[in-house]
Amino acid sequence: MKTLSISTLTICGIEELPGNSAREVTHVLSVLDPDRAEIEAFGTYGEHHRVTLRFHDIIDPKPGQIMPTPEHVGEILGFGEGLRETATGRVKGHLLVHCHMGISRSTAAMMTLMAQADAAEDEDVLFARLREIRPQAWPNSVMIGFADAQLGRGGRLTQALRRHYAHQIEAQPQFRTWMNDLGRKREIEMGLTL
């Protein structure tokens, strides 16, 4: 994301936030459940710009829960555009994207920002970079689908997500159990049916 003058990219979960307070974070994208209380850890951070989005980490509608929407992904892209617009004069930056566990919503958001910043980059290369940042990345497929459409990637981001899921299932077989238990069997099947 050099075009955004962001030199450091971090993805984490809520429990990891205190450990990042001294890392000179300049920008934060928080993706939280709608009923989650405000996070106190940011009181120990230095000056930073923060945007918070609230929706559940689901891929199918569930009673009483809020699905990710195209509007949410549009807000992520708006955040990315803001990073680009404020890049002038910024020597370095540290972007931290987090959700509850740092596995699904936050990794989908970071992938969206990376794909936006590097529009010509191959999608598989972007997912490899994502794994370098967060080895346990399992991006929310609904969010990636919306990002694919809004960025005009013609389905390539979604196809690369399938290959990413296949890689993760092979590298970390426990994902099959975890995602199945979370009602995300459809994503497992995406990775197994290449």
CATH number of 140's domain? 3.90.190.10
Dihedral of the CA atoms 167, 67, 143, 114 (nearest 10)? -110
**Alpha helix (H) residue ranges in the chain:** 70-85, 105-117, 123-133, 141-150, 156-171, 174-181, 185-192
pTM for the full predicted model: 0.95
**What is the rounded CA–CA span in Å between residue 146 and residue 68?**
9
What confidence score (pLDDT) does residue 88 get? 66
Q: How far is CA 133 from CA 10, 85, 99, 152, 190, in A?
A: 7, 24, 15, 24, 22
pLDDT tens, residue order, the chain (194 aa): 444 557 899 999 999 999 999 999 999 999 999 999 999 999 999 999 999 999 999 999 999 999 999 999 999 999 999 998 877 665 689 999 999 999 999 999 999 999 999 999 999 999 999 999 999 999 999 999 999 999 999 999 999 999 999 999 999 999 999 999 999 999 999 999 86
Full residue range of the structural domain in which residue 106 is found: 2-192
**What is the rounded CA–CA span in Å between residue 89 and residue 109?**
25
Q: How far is CA 142 from CA 46, 138, 164, 165, in A?
A: 33, 12, 15, 14
What confidence score (pLDDT) does residue 138 get? 98
Comparing C-alpha atoms, which of 163, 129, 159 is closest to residue 144?
159
How many separate domains does the chain show? 1
